[in-house]
């Protein structure tokens, strides 16, 4: 059974204080790993897809990396508007099977 | 914006009542999904569709049925709602193109079963 574990569950940062969110996974036949951002009361918003170990992608203050067992979402000099829950998910199997983690709730304080 | 709308956005109903949630997309995507999101569980797949009249079960399909008679609409039905089905329901779409299998989500429907 595919499993995705995100840590920490919650993270509080001062504005400008860089940090990383972790997503560790156990899956048979990884086809892709996704990062989403979710604001309260809204649907998940797509950020990145990573396909193979060693791959990196960046978007503004966010950088996602992938190894064979985990992915990191690095947040550089965060701003209050980066406050949200960040979800990790893995795609595996012969159909569109996506397994989600429970998320990391990030709060960035001015 | 992947052109996904969900209706209703909020609903309160009573135990034993049938409920239908609608997902509508405007971009002719082949795959559509229904998820529920609950604290401590993350998003869990209920049912998905890979074409008109082609559907299959996800990991938490008991108590739910779906229908897709048109490409643009994917309906989720709770035949007899129970309090355990109180949740936020999200519809998603994807259009796999080579390695691009990304799912895009709608705004969600908050369902409360009393």
Angle, vertex CA B50, rays to CA B46 and CA B51, nearest 5: 125
Give pLDDT < 70 ranges for chain B: 1-2, 96-100
Q: Are B45 and B35 in contact (CB under 8 A)?
A: yes
Asked if the model's pLDDT at residue A101 lies above 60, the reply is yes
**Cα A8 to chain center, whole Å?**
11
What are the tens digits of pLDDT across the range A80-91?
999 999 999 998
**Coil, helix or strand at residue B84:** helix
Unique residue bearing structure tokens 């797509």: A46
Q: How would residue A93 be classed by pLDDT, with cut points 50, 70 and 90? A: confident
Residues of A with CB under 8 A from a CB of B: 4, 31-32, 34, 36, 41-46, 49, 51, 87, 89, 91, 95-98, 100-103
Q: Do A42 and B100 touch (CB under 8 A)?
A: no
Q: Residue A31 has what pLDDT?
A: 87
| Rounded Cα–Cα distance for residues A75 and B13 (Å) | 41
Q: Are B90 and B31 in contact (CB under 8 A)?
A: no
Q: Are A83 and A107 in contact (CB under 8 A)?
A: yes
What are the tens digits of pLDDT across the range A20-71?
999 999 988 888 999 999 999 999 999 999 999 999 999 999 999 999 999 9
> In the predicted model, what is the mean pLDDT of residues A94-99?
74
Minimum-distance CB partner of B102 among A41, A49, A100 = A49
Minimum-distance CB partner of A51 among B33, B99, B108 = B99
Test the B interface: residue of A7, A35, A96 with most B CBs within 10 Å? A96
> In the predicted model, what is the mean pLDDT of residues A81-107?
90
What is the residue-wise DSSP string for B40-57?
TTEEEEEEEEEETTEEEE
| Rounded Cα–Cα distance for residues B64 and B70 (Å) | 19
């Amino acid at each position: 059974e595919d499993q995705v574990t995100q840590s920490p569950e919650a993270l509080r940062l001062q504005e400008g204080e860089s940090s990383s969110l972790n997503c560790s996974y156990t899956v048979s036949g990884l086809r892709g790993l996704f990062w989403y951002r979710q604001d309260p009361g809204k649907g998940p918003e797509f950020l990145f897809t990573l396909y193979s170990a060693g791959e990196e992608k960046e978007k503004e203050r966010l950088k996602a990396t992938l190894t064979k067992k985990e992915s990191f979402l690095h947040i550089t000099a965060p701003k209050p508007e980066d406050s949200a829950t960040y979800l990790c998910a893995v795609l595996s199997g012969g159909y569109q099977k996506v397994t989600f983690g429970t998320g990391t709730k990030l709060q960035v304080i001015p | 914006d992947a052109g996904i709308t969900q209706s209703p956005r909020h609903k309160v109903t009573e135990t034993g009542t049938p409920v239908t949630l609608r997902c509508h997309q405007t971009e002719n995507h082949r795959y559509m999904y229904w998820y529920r999101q609950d604290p401590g569980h993350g998003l869990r797949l209920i049912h998905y569709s890979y074409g008109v009249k082609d559907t299959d079960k996800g990991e938490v399909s008991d108590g739910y049925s779906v229908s897709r008679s048109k490409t643009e609409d994917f309906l989720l039905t709770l035949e007899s709602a129970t309090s355990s089905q109180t949740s936020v329901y999200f519809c998603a779409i994807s259009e796999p193109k080579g390695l691009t299998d990304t799912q895009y989500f709608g705004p969600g429907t908050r369902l409360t079963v009393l």
